[in-house]
Each structure stands twice: as C-alpha cells, then as structure tokens.
Chain A
Amino acid sequence: MSEIIEDKATTNTVSASVNAAVSIESPLHYFLGKFSGMAQAKKGAVGLVVEEAGLRGHLNLRGNPQSELFTAGVEQVLGVTLPLSPGTFETNGDNSIYWLGPNEWLLIVPGGSEGRTETALRQAISGHIAIVDISGGQTLINLSGEAVATVLKKSSGYDFHPRHFGPGRCVQTTLAKATALVSKKADGSFDLVIRRSFADYLASWLLDAGREFGCRIETGQR
C-alpha cells in the first residue's frame, strides 16, 4: 500500500524548472523592484533590514511523531532532527524544520531541491504521511536591525521578548492583518515565512513600521 502512495505522489511532484529561458518570480519580485532605483536609508541610520530569501524549497510535512520510522527517516534525509517540542525549529544551515503542530512541520530546503527531497522522504518513510510542495505559495523574509523588536511589537500581539522567545523558537501567529510563521535565529534576527498573496501587503506594513528607525529592503541569497 505505502509503496503505491509513494510512487503516485512522486510522479505528481512539480519541481523547479532548470530552463534558463523560463523566468521565475519570487513573491516580492515586484515589490523589491520598486525599491531598486530608489535611495534607501543609509547604512548608519538603518534600524530595520528586510531581506527576502525567496525561491527556497518549502514542503509541508504531516506524519505521526510517535513513529520512530518517521522521525528517523526525516532526520536521515534532511540531516536535521525533527523538532517535537511545540514552537521550536531545527536547522543545519541548508535545511530547516519548523514545528507547526503536533503532526505538522514545514521543511525549508535550498531552492530547486524540493522535488528531490520529497522523493527521498517518500522512499525513507512509509505509513500515513503527507508531503506537499508549497514552494510557490510562500516566501521567507529575514528581519534584522536594532528596531526589530519594536517592529514586531507594532505588528503582532505575540510576545517576542528574548525571555519568552529565544533562538530556536518559532510560532505561527498574526502579523498585522495577515499570518506568518515567525522564528528567531541564533544571530538574533527573525525569519518570517509569509504567504505569497499577502507578501506585498506585509512588506508594505513592515517598511511602514520601520520607517521611523530608517529601513532598507533587499533581496537575499537564493
């Protein structure tokens, strides 16, 4: 039974194209374009840096955390331990796994590797699982700078104070009138995973919130 599931699902995975003639646009492609020609705040006066790390591979994973086969399989494929504590994430730099719910995780992998990752996962784990490529539907943006804490306070009712939300923590919460998966990195900056259709709205919101501190928006590494 499980074998059939794997095969069918793998067949239907739509992986990133490699043809150079195909143009590809991250969710903030146009928003970032608006700022490319404009003078942005100078380095010294920047309290907030908004950086899109677009076009990564995003996979939604569902499965039973009680199954050792499942947890071990995920770890084997991604080289990252599957986080089982609520509101935490694990990363090895390339691959990251975010806890979203008792049986739900978000995997972020280098752009273009999502298809391979899905195939490998389906080979490594069996039973009742679901793996869904959602790379086109969301993007990752990093917020850094001295004003990040205040900008988050302006945007969300969640308590991001270091005592409450240290490095390695993540939470799905409201951000302005949209939602985001917010995580705190070891370097003190915050990653937000936001939905594509809300990306322009949220980027506008964040720039507005950061305006009083001076802010800059840019494209990060793919």
Chain B
Amino acid sequence: MLTRRIDRGADNGKPIYFRFNGKRYQGRQGDTLAAALLANGVDIVGRSFKYGRPRGIVGHGAEEPNAIVQISHGSQTVPNLRATQVELYEGLEANSVSGWPSVDFDIKGSLGLLGGLMPPGFYYKTFMGSKKIWEFSEPWIRKAAGLGRAPVEADPDVYDKLNQHCDVLVVGAGPAGLMAALEAARTGARVIIADEQNEFGGSLLAATQTLDGKPCREWVSQTITELSNFNNVELLPRSTVFGYYDHNFLAILERRTDHLGPVATTGVRQRLHRVRARQVVLATGAIERPLVFANNDVPGVMLASSVSTYVNRYGVAPGNKLVLFTTNDGAYQTAIDWHSAGREVVAVVDTRHNPKGEWVDYARKLGIDILDGYGVIEARGGKRVKAALVAPLNREGSAVTGPPQTLSCDLLASSGGWSPAIHLSSHTGAKPVWSDDVVGFLPGESKQKERSAGAANGTYSLLGCLQEGARAGAEAAQQAGFGTDTSQLPLPKFTELQEQPQQALFLVPHSKRTSRAPKQFVDFQLDVTAAGIELAAREGYESVEHVKRYTAMGFGTDQGKLGNINGMAILSKALGQGIPETGTTIFRPSYTPTTFGAIAGRDVKELFDPERYTAMHRWHVENGAAFENVGQWKRPWYFPKPGETMHDAVNRECLAVRNSVGILDASTLGKIDIQGPDAAEFITRIYTNAYLKLAPGKCRYGVMLKEDGMIFDDGVTACLGENHYLMFTTTGGAAGVLAWLELWQQTEWPELEVYFTSVTDHWTTATVTGPNARKVIEKVCQDVDLSNDSFKFMDWRDGTVADVKARIFRISFTGELSFEVNVPAHYGRYIWEKLIEAGREFDITPYGTETMHVLRAEKGFIIVGQDTDGSMTPQDMNMDWVVGKKKAFSFIGKRSLERSDTVRENRKQFVGLKPLNEKEVLPEGAQIVNDPNQAIPMDMQGHVTSSYYSANLGHSFALAVVKGGLNRMGEVVHCPLADGRNIAAEIVSSVFYDPKGDRQNV
C-alpha cells in the first residue's frame, strides 16, 4: 500500500505527535487534525446520530459534518470542533463526540437501535405530543446520540472583546477578498480583513495555478505583505465573522491561542471583535455540494475540492484509487491533481452526456478515463468504500437507463457544483435568489451597506473572482468616502481553462425507488435521507421551514452547510415545483458555533457588574460589615460583632439607636442640585405637595407620582437659597428621577428656567440619630446653634464639622432626633471617623440597611419599591396629607387621582400587621386572606410588604397592603404559607412606635 503522505521535500512540516480516541499518531506541522487523521489512514471519525453508521471525513473546512471532535480534557476541553478546522499542535488530544461505546464498535450501528424508533418527524412528534414521551426519551437520546460534553469546571482561559470601527470590512481572504482589501486599502480607508482559516489565501492555498508565472501562494504572500504595510489595515486570520447584525454591525470571533493548545498563557484565548463597518465586502467563497446517492456516507466518500485540498495544501492523499463523480467541469481539477500526485484515477463519472470543452480535453489528454452520461448510484463498502456502482443515466439525470457495473476504488470524490456561502448576507434579511445558471442561491438584494464578490456571488473563475473583488473593494471604499469607485490595481497574469455548463442534479437515481434504495444521505449530521424528505412531503409538509423541523435537516452544529440545498431541491421535486417556489430556510447567526466565554468577555467575576462604593466603604470593610447590594451600590447591611448572628446584630443596632445613638452611611441617597428662577415652581409641579413657600434653611418631604397617579419616588427637598434647592431621591431611583426631571423640563415646560445637576457622588452623608445625637454633634460642631429652638426638625444649616465645611440636615428616617451631616466625599471617611470618635462616650453604634429598615418600619415610613409597587397612590399609602389640594398649577399625576379606579372603595391600603404569635415573623410577600380554610383559588386580600422582628417593641410586626385595610383595624387576617403553616395577624396602624412623633422633635 502506498503511503498517504506525498513527499514535498523541504515543504514537509516537522513531525508532531497527537492522540485521537486514545491512540497516538504522528502528524506534521501545518496539518489540520483532519489532514493528519487522513494521513494516518483513520477512516472512521464518528458514528451517525440515528443509525450509528461509521462516518469519515468528508470536507476540509467549516462544512464538515462528521469529523466533530472534543479537544483536550478537564476545564479547558472544547466540544464540537470540526477536525478540519483544528490546527495540529504537539500533544493535541482529540476524541470523537459520537459513537458509544466507541466509533469502531457502535451499539446503535450493531443493533440498528434508533433507526426504527426514530423515523423522520420523531422530534416533531415527540415535542408536539405528550411531554412524558420526551421526558422518557431525552436521557437515552442524549447519551447515545449526543455530541460533545461541556466542561464542568470553571474555564481558566481569558476572553475579551474589542469594539472596532472601520470604513471597509472584508470578510474572507481568498482571491476576491484579498483584491477587495488591497483596492480599499490604497484609498486610505480603514480596512479590516478577516478570514476563518489560519492563513490568508482561501482557495488559492490549494490551487496549482500559477499567477504572474509563479505559484499562486507567492502572489498570496506578496499581497499579504503589501496589506501589512498599510497602517490603515488590520489583518485578522483565524477570525470567523459569525454574525451580521443591524446597522452594519458584525461580530468576529478571533481564535488567538487555540492553535497552541491549552497551554498556561496570560494572553487572551479568544477575542470577540464587535465591528461597526461603514461598508462591507462579503467574499466568503462557496461550499461544494456533495452528490446524493445510495450509501454516500461510507468513509472514503468525500468532496472533490476537499480531496484536492488535502493533496495540494497538506500533502496528504486520502486513498489510492479514485473514482471522481461530477456534474461539472470544475471537479475535473481533482482528477488532474490526483493524477499529478501519481495516484490512480479509476474513472471520472460525469452525469452529462457527451461533455465537451477544455477541461474534458485536458483530462483525456492525461489519459484519464471518462464515463459520461453515467452516475455513481451506490457506494459499496462498510467501514471504507470498496467500490462504486455506476450506471448509465438519462439526459435529465432522473432515471437509470441500463444495468450497473462495479468500479473498484478506495476513494470516491463527488461534486454536484457549488453553493455560494450567502450566510452573512442572509443574516441581514436579504432574501436569497435562486439562479439556474449558477445552480445555487445567490445573495439577495442588499438590506445593508454590503456587497458580495467572487464565489460568494456565484462567480467561480479565478479571473472573475479577482475582478469582482477589486471592483467591490473600490466601490465599498468610495461609498465610505474614499477614492473613486473604479479599481486601479493591476491583476496578476495567468491562464485558466474555460468551464462549460454544469448539470443541475440533486438526487442521483437508483435502480430501486428512493424509499427502497439503500439510504441516500442529505444531512450527514442528523441522518436525514432523501427518502425522509420525500416522506415529509407525502405527509403534507409543504413549507421548507416545516420540513426542516420535521426532519431535523440542518439542525446540527454544521447547520446544514452541505445538505440544505440538496434537501430543498429534493423537496421541490417531491412537491412538483421549482426551487425558487420552495425557497430556502433562513440562515441565522452564528455561522459556526461560538464560544460562550468570548461572548461574556471580561464581564465576569468581579468585573461582571460595577460595584459602587461610598467614601466610607473601606471603613465598613475594615469594621466587618456584611454588605447588601442596593442597585449597584455595596451598602453595609449590618455590622456583626464576633459571635453575633445577623439577628443579634440587628437587634443590638436597633436598641442602640432608640436608646442612645447610631450612625448610618446614607451617602448612596440620590442628590440633585436644582437652580434657576423657576426652580420652586418646577419642584411644585413634580411633587404632590407645595414648595413655593419653602424658605431657605427649611426642608420638606415629598412624594412624586407618574402620570398614572402612582408613587414612583419620595424624599426630602431642602431650600438652599433663593432659587436653589437640593432634592434627595431614593438610592435606586436617583438616575430615573434626574431623567424624569429633564424629560419634563425639556419636553413639556421648556419655558421654566431651571437646571438640574446630579451631586450624588459629590456629597457624603453620615446620619447621626438617637436621643444622644445632639450631644455627639455638639462635640464636633461649634458654629451652629444646635438647640431645638433655633435648629428645628426639618431645618438645615451650614456649619463646620471637625474643621470641614458641611451641610447639616435635621431630617429623620428613624423617628429619632437626627442630624444628617453632608460633606464633599473627599472628606467622607475623615468625618465618619470624627463622628464615631465624638460618639464613643455614648457608645455610638454604626448600623446598616437592615436596622434602617426595621426602625423606619416601626415608624410606618414607606420605602418606595418595597411597600409600593407602582400601583399605589398616596391615598392608598394613607398619605393623603402629602397631597396639596390648593396648588395653583396641577402636579404630575393629579388628574389620575380622580379616576374611578383610584377613588373606588376597597383598594389595597397600607396598614400594619401584628402577628398573634409575637415571635413569628411573616415572610415578606406573603399573601393575605380572610379565611385560610376556603377552597383554592382563595380570595386574595393583599400582601405583606415589609416584615421584621422588633427588639424595641418586643414582638414581630409587618407592613402590608390590604383591601379596604384602613377601615378594618382590629380584624384578624391570615397568611397561609407554602410550607403549610398559617400565620394569623391583627390589622393595626402602620405606625408602631412613637405614634405622635415626639422623639424626632426633641
């Protein structure tokens, strides 16, 4: 037996060792895994999905349906790669993803297990039928038929994203793409050229053509050098443009270190380029169409162009005796390449009757036998093709017209023509157009700023590709604002043979009818056969999209790159209509599978989402705070002392505030500076109450409503001076409130002269609260009269606190005497520490959001977004007092407060709940009913909005919204819980502590 390696002398790559399915092999530098496997005579690389049939390598690129492998193991394992696109590296470990227990002995193949159980439409019927069938079937289908396995450990590799902008993006670096990039580059346009292969050149990498009298590889490297010399050009090899989205936005996956193996690297494994391109040139080439004949899946049946690629590019001859089966001239190249490699061409089997022209003549001159008007109707062999069964066909290629004969061979290459790779153009919504001349779908009318060139556009001659590429590059650059739209660069000089028309043939007839003939595979990955498609048509499926789902054609990881066009054509014939009427399924991103890691990029772990810190954050960390996420802010939740549970800590903090003094970091509250002659008028229209008479030095609490009358934010606004105010918002509502103010000022009331500026980050707020609060402040602030007579509740003062200019607000969210000290954030930690130092003699207690929540709930103070949910009016919240009835101008939401629904009886109203069992804490969100024993669905009365245990009250309590609740004081309601318990509670006032509010006024 001849060796499968073709000696290329100095061009032989150095040996590399790798493992496949546990066995060690030698490959060569420059091989793909597929090339190396073929060189080692590995025929079987996988087992088929349904029938467990042995499968071998068919293609040489993204279209490969069978050689799907899992690379490496552990945390860096990668499933479902195409061996045809995996570059070989020393120590590479690959395993087939299919075949159980192994690819050489597959249990499905032996028993024919799934074939009978999974007819076409199996998935469809399973999904549409009983859920139970799928639940029963799924585990064993996945085990027997599944593809690769996702890693279970965390991925140690680094992925990132780059946002790119360019004038011209060229997709594909074959002859058309290279010319396009060169033309665009010379105009000065910013150009990116990306190609999925490890080296640029596309089809030229495997061509034997000479350009300007030199091997075409030399022209390729010369062109790459030229492109690299432009500083306005970025070259991206190993980069798949996998999606084309709106507004000329394209996504590219660049594989930076995959070809080096899972080595410990500090670099970036894969990079996602998010490209905004002014103009795009799609030079994505074409994918050869295999011919569909009986047993066309036997290992050793390959695409003609793939055979040429392995011979010419990798120096691998995947067999000895070739039968070439074709419908066109182009594939004759494969027979010529095989012949030149010194191997035996058994015959060229050409379905065309009496083909003429330069290619046929040239092959004949080389002494190659041509069987014209014949077809290969069946491949013979089990684990490797042994012979081709050939028979004469009628002119249409629709029937066998004579007895078959057997041609002995070990390699059967087929070509049914080419399908332009129109995937990216389809992503834009361009509807593919069938061309009888090209025998394929061409890119449809552009929906975006793109054009296709070369084989992607159905132009297959080299000269045509170069010309079209050059033209497309010049046009794209010109439309992006560079150069003129005529190409200016000289093309290389060369000759090429002229092609004669091909025959359109999608299903090769057999002596038996399709349903009786051995299986004629259309989609290798999902074992879809011509008979299956015809069955779908007979069962009434007319739309190609329905047939796709019924048969699963094109559902594999290869997305039907090889089979779809044949499948559609077979369906058309079965339906008795043309291919244009049948149409094609829609291609969607991704072109090839894309790593999740690359889509996540660096937005992982601590960089997943911003953590916002206050100026005192480090102090909180140093003092053992437990943190709570409030929006993106990290806020201290509670400050546990050694040995304390959360419950212990919160009880201690709550008691400290009510009995002595506590301190809270309230810096996260939203703060908006408002200036302008109409500031007061504007604020009065935004809030439900009046601000026109608010004097400098005074503060007022307000509630703002959306147009529907529902509460959306609340807070205190202080008058800083005439025409100057400071508005506090909720922590979570800050950005939304600022946008709300700008919206109304800019669109509705532009005549009001008022400016808003966020000062949330500028000011740090330390709230000192409790009966001893004044004593603490007195120690650090000498220039403000802090007495209750001069500095009243809801006043604010300028002052100096520990030598820092500060604003002090007497506002209270605890119901206790409170001073909120505001300083610019640079001084935040300093002031915080000074206040704690001053409070030491009173055992000042830092407290967090949990204690803040308990204390405000004891007072019945609402938290917007917790006690309200966007459906509560001020009246619902028992806050009618905050609604100004006599304001000259309306306020936002006022009219809605008079709608029949907002004034009706029995709306949910804000009340307190006191559980009958004083130790039991109601879960927040618990539903409230009158009778826990009624039948389900129960009559819902409302729900619990806030619920805590109060150390100050000595019992649990809750806030809730209950239908007509304000008139139901003293009634007992019930909360039946999911765990079967029922908690009974009495409806009480929402104010549990200090109902008259004396404590904040002392």
Contact = CB atoms under 8 A, between A and B. Distances in A.
Contact of A208 (B602, B615, B798): B602
B793 to A, nearest CB: 21
A22 B802 contact: yes
A132 B671 CA distance: 12
Contacts of B675: 5, 9, 62, 129-132
A17 B824 CA distance: 10
Interface in B254-290: 266-268, 274, 276
Interface in B748-765: 753, 755, 757-764
Interface in B796-852: 798, 802-807, 823-830
Nearest to B249: A157
Contacts, number: 175
Interface in A25-60: 25-27, 30, 55, 60
B348 to A, nearest CB: 52
Interface stretch (A68-76, A77-85, A184-192, A197-205): A197-205
Interface stretch (B176-184, B560-568, B606-614, B904-912): B606-614
A135 interface: yes
Contact of B805 (A17, A157, A159): A17
A113 interface: no
A23 interface: yes
A178 B762 contact: no
Nearest to B614: A197
B69 to A, nearest CB: 29
B863 to A, nearest CB: 21
B721 A9 contact: yes
B313 interface: no
Given A22-B804, A197-B633, A8 B827 contact: no
B606 A204 contact: yes
A195 B761 contact: yes
B696 interface: yes
B163 A135 contact: no
Nearest to A164: B165
A205 B601 CA distance: 12
Interface secondary structure of A, over-half rule? mixed
Contact of A212 (B268, B276, B676, B805): B268
B676 A134 contact: no
A12 interface: yes
A91 B525 CA distance: 64
Nearest to B761: A137
Given A8-B696, A178-B610, A209-B602, A15 B805 contact: yes
A116 interface: no
Nearest to B606: A204
Nearest to A17: B804
Given A11-B721, A153-B164, A177-B603, A24 B759 contact: no
Contacts of B696: 8
Contact of A24 (B677, B798, B827): B827
A154 B161 CA distance: 6
Please classify how large the interface on chain A is, using the bins under 10, 10 to 19, 20 to 34, 35 or more: 35 or more
Given A130-B676, A161-B190, A22 B827 contact: yes
Contact of A5 (B615, B724, B826): B724
B612 A201 contact: yes
Nearest to B825: A136
B803 A17 contact: yes
A90 interface: no
A188 B741 CA distance: 38
B266 A212 contact: yes
Contacts of B676: 128, 130
Nearest to B610: A201
A150 B761 CA distance: 29
B724 A154 contact: no
A16 B804 CA distance: 8
A7 B827 CA distance: 25
A212 B267 contact: yes
A178 B762 CA distance: 17
A143 to B, nearest CB: 16
B260 to A, nearest CB: 15
Contacts of B763: 136-137
A1 B677 contact: yes
Interface secondary structure of B, over-half rule? mixed
Contact of B798 (A1, A7, A12): A12
B826 A134 contact: no
B954 to A, nearest CB: 38
Given A8-B721, A11-B798, A208 B614 contact: no
A158 B274 CA distance: 11
A178 B825 CA distance: 19
B722 A138 contact: no
B602 A137 contact: no
Contacts of B830: 22-25
B528 interface: no
Interface in A99-157: 103, 128-138, 150, 153-154, 156-157
A62 B803 contact: no
B618 interface: yes
Contacts of B268: 212
B157 interface: no
A25 to B, nearest CB: 6
B755 A62 contact: yes
Contacts of A134: 757-759, 761-762
Nearest to A19: B803
Contacts of B337: none
A178 B758 CA distance: 15
Contacts of A1: 677
A32 to B, nearest CB: 12
Contacts of A163: 190
Nearest to A21: B803
Nearest to A127: B753
B673 interface: yes
Contact of A14 (B614, B723, B758, B805): B805
Contacts of B276: 157, 159
Contacts of B762: 133-138, 196
Contacts of B761: 134, 136-138, 195-197
B610 A136 contact: no
Given A133-B762, A159-B165, A200 B611 contact: yes
A197 B163 contact: no
Contact of B673 (A132, A177, A195): A132
B162 interface: yes
Given A12-B720, A12-B721, A24-B830, A137 B759 contact: yes
Question: Which residue among B160, B618, B676, B826 has the maximum number of chain A CB atoms within 10 Å of its CB?
Answer: B826
Contact of B610 (A8, A15, A132, A177): A177
A4 B276 CA distance: 51
A161 B190 CA distance: 10
Interface string A197-222: 11111101100110110000000000
A26 B826 contact: yes
Contacts of B827: 17, 22-25, 136
B437 to A, nearest CB: 41
Given A23-B830, A154-B602, A176-B607, A60 B757 contact: yes
Nearest 10 A/B pairs, CB to CB: A8-B721, A136-B824, A137-B761, A137-B762, A130-B755, A136-B825, A130-B675, A197-B612, A159-B165, A62-B755
Given A5-B723, A137-B760, A201-B610, 10 more contacts: A7-B721, A12-B798, A15-B805, A25-B829, A130-B675, A136-B827, A137-B761, A138-B762, A161-B165, A163-B190
29 contacts: A5-B722, A8-B723, A8-B724, A9-B721, A9-B724, A12-B724, A17-B804, A24-B830, A25-B615, A129-B675, A130-B676, A132-B757, A134-B759, A136-B761, A137-B760, A137-B825, A150-B162, A154-B163, A177-B603, A197-B613, A200-B613, A201-B610, A201-B612, A202-B610, A204-B606, A204-B607, A209-B160, A209-B602, A212-B266
Interface of A: 1, 4-5, 7-9, 11-12, 14-17, 19, 21-27, 30, 55, 60, 62, 103, 128-138, 150, 153-154, 156-159, 161, 163-164, 176-178, 195-202, 204-205, 208-209, 211-212
